[in-house]
Amino acid sequence: MKYSPHISVVFICLFLLSCKEQKAVVPDNVKYEFIHFIMHSDEPINLSGWKFVADKDTSQLTISEADSINFVSTVTDLGIFRKDDAVFMWKQIADYSDFTLSSSEIKDRTIISPGKWRDLPHEKYWDYILKKYETDKFYSLSMPLFSKDLLTVIISIEDYGMQYGKRAGSYVYKKSNGKWTFLKQLSYVD
């Protein structure tokens, strides 16, 4: 039997592709169950009376591969997540910039596309928002990052108002006995 180097190359490529790190997939129904909870929760921020939500996270988060070690370390240092949870969460970040709220999933809010916060000076930005959406406030949600068992989640919530600018916080929630509950505030900027 004659040896073909082309077959070896194909097998090596298939092997390398199978070794490539897979991104973590959290089903949309799990994400939206949690998002609906947040939108109707009053802890720690009451979002139930807010009509407008941004279609995308407006924080302009940029994360590089070099951030992975710090992310895993920071998340495990909270004492809430195990290392495999942190790694699973890091894998979800691959979908972070593509995450957009779906109007077919969110029926009781008006989803707006306000653009990035830093695109325009404050006054011009709010002129744009007032003219386009007839509102002087809205909020945005980050893509929720779930633990491996899908029972604990980190989310960032930012609310924007013409009078006060921006407030932002990151929070941890836990699902127990089928119900989401607020667990811990990680950060808050007013």
pLDDT tens for 7-17 read 333 332 223 23
Is the per-residue pLDDT at 24 higher than 60?
yes
Domain count, the chain: 1
Please write the tens of the pLDDT for every residue from 39-66: 999 888 888 889 999 998 876 555 665 5
pLDDT digits (tens, 9 = 90+) for 132-177: 999 999 999 999 999 999 999 999 999 988 888 888 888 999 999 9
Selection from 98, 91, 25 nearest residue 61 by Cα: 98
User: Does 184 reside within a domain?
Assistant: yes
Instruction: Give the CA count within 13 Å in the CB-facing half-sphere of 92.
Output: 25
Question: pLDDT digit string (tens) for 100-140?
Answer: 999 999 999 999 988 765 678 888 889 989 999 999 999 99
Residue 36 lies in a domain: yes
In a domain, 4, yes or no: no
Confirm whether 168 is domain-assigned.
yes
pTM of the shown model: 0.80
Domain of 137 in residue numbering reads as 27-189
> Which residues 6+ apart lie within 8 Å of 156 measured at CB?
57, 59, 141, 142, 168, 169, 170, 171
